[in-house]
Amino acid sequence: MADHEDPKTGKKNKGTSKEVCGYPLSIFFIVVNEFCERFSYYGMRAVLVLYFKYFLRWDDDLATSIYHTFVALCYLTPILGAIVADSWLGKFKTIIYLSIVYAIGQVAMAVSAIHDITDTDRDGTPNNMTFHVVLSMVGLFLIALGTGGIKPCVAAFGGDQFGDHQERQRRTFFSVFYLCINGGSLLSTIITPILRAQNCGIYSKQKCYSLAFGVPAALMVVALVVFIVGSGMYYKAKPEGNIMGDVCKCIGFAISNRYKHRSKQYPSREHWMDWAEDKYDKLLIAQIKMVLKVLFLYIPLPMFWTLFDQKGSRWTLQATTMDGNFGAIVIQPDQMQTVNPILILTLVPIMDSVIYPLIKKCGLNFTPLKRMTVGMFLAALAFVCAAVVQIEIDVSRKHLTYFNLTQFVNGMNKPVNVSTSEVVFGQIEKFHYSNYSQIRNGRATFFLQSGQLSCAFSRDFGFGSSYTFFIPSTLSLGSNCQESITGAEDIKPNSVHMALQVPQYFFITAGEVMFSVTGLEFSYSQAPSNMKAVLQAGWLLTVAIGNFIVLIVAEVAKLPKQWTEYVLFASLLLCVCIIFSIMAYFYTYIDPTEIEAKFRRNVGDDDDDKNDKQRKLEMEMMKRDLDRSDDEHYKGKQTKM
Ligand SMILES: C[C@H](N)C(=O)N[C@@H](CCCCN)C(=O)O
């Protein structure tokens, strides 16, 4: 579809999509697609660490490492997606193809979690674990490729649907887009843990990870279908060329040219990028300088994500050792992650409409970089809270599971069958005991059957408790099992309540609002018009590096106590926060549009009768605007930190 120019205003109106209340109808499909895709991603991610631990039977460290490797991959692939979209397929086709890859990955995960496939002896546990591990790793790789690849395309594709006369609507679209991300995440982190906690299976009942992965897979198919249905209405911009490649080539040329002219006989240039002037356009060089300034500022940022993304790993594992009984409802450990999107949906409007205006009213200039610094500080504080909670847990208990384990000792002179509505203990021979089996939290009823004898008894189970029940030799037809069967508490239930995790979730989410939401906006505002995607990819790369840092620190430090690891992460972020605040102090905000316009105007002046000397002088002045942070020319517009 071509751009249509409004004859009165001369502004571009993209596409022929119908408008509803001033919005192109096509964005409805993009917003629904994002909601379903984020549901799919966060739903799968919510139960992932528990799948590793309880289905694949990995230990906490391996589960955490693979979890963060996966998240890191998800944020490395946006670069790939951006390159493919910009230089080859265009955003529309890239989204379609990579969404198919993504959906296949989700289906592979769901299949990998069906224990019956390899449960040849039908005892409820897979017999060929290699099959499940390999299939789930292939699935995760495809998901990372898909979700990361489409990440830089979908939001930008949505932005493309608006014409120049729809600036206000485009801004609203981005807000709604962010709400959809968190709406999808909120719903899925409530639903998938509930599905996981169900028992399912053909031959034997086990926790239903296949359903918990299957529903996100279905949602990804829905996301793809919705996106395709909107196909006829989209404005599809042609690929603009590989801007990331051009940037790399230009930087490479500047470095090699500088090296070639290293001898003192060549006059030095104001900025090392100026060495690219012999071959590249001055505007491109100026734009790269703007990008490099921001990228330099990104160096400390990965540390924030190192802490932030541990919500899904260490914090979820921490919740498995806590009591999730909230009276009317019982919260699953992985459902605690729901607190994040709930707080996001409440905090973003509060910050925007109350806190920030209030700070402004007090005469304080709370600039984006100051907000990001405070965000980092809050994340460090969240980890101090996590450490305190961990100490509390360590003091109160000595085991590390949230399941209730139960075993029976048969004191009778004949075999007995024991079962609940969900778990079969099987036949226990005379004077023998059963294996431990997992029982749901809350009240469970056990059915005993031995020849003519048939009775039932019920008990309440707290999170993480373990019991041994004794079936007395005196049990006979007509006995009251509720009274006759006695139980010994091997391990006390978890006593530290999951509600204690709320403060750490509050601080990390308040940190996210200040850091992530502001950082995205900052990256967009400081990027030259044609390099916004480059900076977005750079921003997402900080998330990937942050997740690799979790692996490195956890591996190198190998701290025996979990709380000490939390304190270590908090201290590291605090140090990084101080370094970032110093770097931010020396950063000068720029207006890329204004700088670009000046360069363009100057090129236009070529046709005028301006003499070369004058033009050169102006060019030099603009370069200085970029190179020197204390430049007088922009002082009115620019603010420090
Ligand atoms: C759900 C979460 N609060 C959120 O808003 N996530 C965003 C940004 C993620 C940044 C790196 N973890 C999303 O796009 O999913």
For a mutational test of ligand 1's pocket, the pick from 512, 516, 520, i.e. the residue with the most ligand atoms closer than 8 A to its C-beta, is: 516
- The residue out of 471, 491, 511 marking a domain boundary is 491
Q: What is the pLDDT of residues 365-392, one digit of tens each?
A: 999 999 999 999 999 999 999 999 999 9
Which residues lie across from 467 on neighbouring strands? 406, 489
DSSP string for 270-311: SSGGGGGGGTS-HHHHHHHHHHHHHHHHHTTTHHHHHHHGGG
555 with 408, same domain: the answer is: no
Report CA(192)–ligand 1 centroid distance (Å). Answer: 18
CB 212 within 8 A of CB 39: no
**578 and 433 housed in the same domain:** no
Q: Where is the domain boundary, 440, 468, 491? A: 491
Q: Is the pLDDT of residue 403 over 80?
A: no
229 and 90, same structural domain? yes
Alpha carbons 71 and 54: distance in angstroms, whole number: 20
Ligand 1, CB within 6 Å, residue ranges: 38, 181-182, 185, 309, 340-341, 344, 512, 516, 543
For ligand 1, mutation pick of 151, 154, 182, 189 (most atoms within 8 Å of CB): 182
- Residue 301 and residue 184 in one domain: no
**Nearest alpha carbon, ligand 1 atom 8:** 516
Task: List, for residues 516-539, the tens digit of each pLDDT value.
Answer: 988 877 887 888 877 877 787 889
Name the percent of the chain lying above pLDDT 70: 90
Please name the residue whose Cα sits nearest to atom 13 of ligand 1.
181
Q: Do 537 and 604 lie in a common domain?
A: no
What ipTM was assigned to the predicted interfaces of this complex? 0.97
- How far is 439 from 191, CA to CA, in rounded Å? 21
Domain count, the chain: 4
The per-residue pLDDT for range 582-635, each reduced to its tens digit, is 999 999 998 888 888 888 777 665 545 445 555 555 556 555 555 544 333 333
Q: What is the CATH number of the domain that holds 470?
A: 2.60.40
Percent helix, strand and coil across the chain, each to the nearest 5: 65, 10, 25
* Residues 56 and 197 grouped into a single domain: yes
CA-nearest of 65, 175, 30, 17 to 558 is 65
CA 312 to chain centre: 9
Phi, psi (rounded to 5 degrees) for 487? -130, 145
Atom of ligand 1 nearest to the CA of 71: 12
Say if residue 98 is in the same domain as residue 48: yes
Question: What is the reported pTM?
Answer: 0.79
Q: What is the pLDDT of residues 185-197, one digit of tens each?
A: 999 999 999 999 9
In terms of Cα–Cα distance, which of 353, 318, 339, 398 is closest to 563? 318
Same domain? For 358 and 341 the reply is yes
Whether residue 457 sits in one domain with residue 372: no
End residue of a domain, out of 491, 521, 543: 491
Q: Say whether both 133 and 223 belong to one domain.
A: yes
Q: What is the CATH number of the domain that holds 175?
A: 1.20.1250.20
Do 335 and 380 fall within a single domain? yes
Kindly report the backbone phi and psi dihedral angles of residue 560, in degrees, each rounded to the nearest multiple of 5, phi listed first. Answer: -70, -30
pLDDT tens digits for range 299-337: 999 999 999 999 999 999 999 989 888 888 889 999 999
Distance CA 40, CA 386 (A): 28
Q: What are phi and psi of 113, to 5 degrees?
A: -95, 10
The residue range of the domain holding 486 is: 404-491
**Contact 211/195 with Cβ under 8 angstroms?**
yes
Contact assessment for residue 131 and residue 111, using Cβ atoms and an 8 Å cutoff: no
439 backbone dihedrals φ, ψ, rounded to 5°: -120, 140
Protein residue with least CA distance to atom 1, ligand 1: 182
Is 7 within the bounds of a domain?
A: no
Decide if 256 is inside a domain.
no
Reported as a pLDDT band with limits 50, 70 and 90, residue 24 is: very high
The whole-angstrom separation of Cα 425 and Cα 433 is 10
Is residue 459 located within the same domain as residue 515?
no
- Return the residue whose CA atom lies nearest to atom 7 of ligand 1: 181
